[in-house]
């Protein structure tokens, strides 16, 4: 019997967790990919949006805990990386084992965000949000011009930007799990801001820099998935050996 390792995937600002659904058929048999939907979008569209990262992380941790079995890992891109880190702490606080790995993709470390999130704590206007989407180069002009679609997307994006803008690091015991960081060479997160993730763990740490801008996880999907699979294969084999011992 194959020992399954669960990979919880947290979406970036404005997105549904379904942005990760296309990864499922590209994963090995032993890796169960589980996109985590956030309140206010996708299948949870009718639920209120959050602007407090730790409150959201604890809500998600409580929802996932009953069915979550070790081993598991966490992956998040941009907003999702911060949320994945907070969920690791929240799950530990609820008595769960730590993840076997935390993947933080495409954003500055929690302690390196003073300049990165400047101006994001207050709600942005529609025009400011659309300008920000243009800057990130992840949304076509056709989509930006679609008023009906934007009327659904912008409130989510506004709340998500506040999630990041209002976030403040706190003193607490470090994680013990390995932290693996992915960054885009043309993204705005600097090398220093990415390396800052090493301060979140007592475990091992690595950084992989890939070509592309903020949405390198889509531009270079195959390379991103290879990094994830290569890192998790070590943990999968370790747990498989323990299970058959």
78-130 pLDDT, tens digit per residue, is 999 999 999 999 999 999 999 999 999 999 999 999 888 777 767 777 778 77
**Would you give the DSSP letter of residue 139?**
S
CATH of the domain at 93: 3.40.50.1820
In a domain, 142, yes or no: no
Mean pLDDT, the chain, rounded, equals 90
Structural domain includes residue 137: no
CA atoms within 13 A on the CB side of 39: 16
Residues 6+ apart with CB under 8 A from 150: 126, 130, 143, 144
- Tell me how many domains the chain contains: 1
Give per-residue pLDDT as tens, 3-16.
789 999 999 998 89
Do 78 and 157 contact (CB within 8 A), yes or no? no
Rounded Cα gap, residues 181 and 196, in angstroms = 10
Task: Name the pLDDT band for 60 (thresholds 50, 70, 90).
Answer: very high
Instruction: Look at residue 163 and tell me whether its pLDDT is greater than 60.
Output: yes
pLDDT (0 to 100) of residue 244: 60
Of 78, 125, 176, 206, catalytic: 78
Q: Does the residue 50 lie in any domain?
A: yes
pLDDT at 148 over 80: no
Q: 60 phi and psi, to 5 degrees?
A: -65, -40
Reduce the DSSP state of residue 12 to 3 states and report it.
coil
Laid out side by side, the sheet with 205-210 consists of 31-35, 5-10, 72-77, 101-105, 179-184, 205-210
Is 151 a domain residue? no
> Pick the residue with more confidence: 132 or 45?
45
**Confidence category of residue 154, pLDDT binned at 50, 70, 90:** confident
Among 62-71, 85-94, 110-119, 131-140, top mean pLDDT goes to 85-94
* 4/196 Cα distance (integer angstroms): 31
Q: pTM (2 decimals)?
A: 0.92
Burial class, 46, CB count within 10 angstroms (exposed 0-12 / middle 13-18 / buried 19+)? exposed
The percent of residues in the chain predicted with pLDDT above 70, rounded, is: 94
Q: Contact at 8 Å (CB) between 81 and 109? A: no
Q: Confirm whether 145 is domain-assigned.
A: no
Structural domain of residue 211, as residue ranges? 5-117+173-244
Q: At what angle do helices 53-64 and 147-165 cross, to 10 degrees?
A: 100
Q: What is the DSSP string of 213-244?
A: STTHHHHTHHHHHHHHHHHHHHHHHHHHHHHH
Does residue 9 sit within a domain? yes
Residue 72 within any structural domain of the chain: yes
The answer to whether residue 136 is domain-embedded is no
Is 78 a catalytic site residue?
yes
Residue 1, pLDDT > 60, answer no
What whole-number distance in Å separates Cα of residue 186 and Cα of residue 155?
Answer: 27
């Amino acid at each position: 019997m194959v020992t399954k390792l669960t990979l919880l995937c947290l979406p970036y600002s404005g997105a549904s967790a379904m942005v990760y659904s296309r990864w499922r058929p590209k994963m090995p048999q032993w890796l169960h990919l589980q996109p985590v939907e956030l309140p206010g979008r996708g299948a949870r569209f009718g639920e209120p949006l959050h602007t407090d990262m730790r409150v959201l992380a604890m809500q998600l941790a409580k929802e996932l805990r009953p069915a979550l079995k070790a081993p598991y890992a966490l992956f998040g891109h941009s907003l999702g990386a911060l949320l994945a880190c907070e969920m690791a702490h929240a799950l530990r606080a609820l008595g769960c084992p730590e993840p076997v790995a935390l993947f933080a993709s495409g954003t500055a470390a929690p302690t390196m965000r003073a300049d990165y999130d400047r101006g994001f704590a207050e709600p942005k206007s529609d025009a400011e949000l659309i300008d920000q989407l243009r800057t990130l180069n992840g949304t076509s002009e056709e989509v930006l011009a679609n008023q009906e679609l934007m009327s659904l997307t912008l409130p989510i994006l506004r709340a998500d930007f506040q999630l990041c803008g209002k976030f403040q690091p706190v003193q607490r015991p470090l994680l013990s799990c390995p932290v693996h960081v992915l960054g885009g060479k043309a993204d705005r997160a600097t090398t220093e801001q990415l390396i800052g993730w090493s301060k979140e763990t007592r475990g091992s740490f690595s950084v992989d820099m890939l070509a592309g801008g903020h949405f390198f996880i889509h531009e270079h999907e195959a390379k991103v998935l290879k990094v994830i699979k290569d890192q998790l294969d070590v943990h999968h084999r370790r747990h498989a050996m323990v299970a058959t011992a």
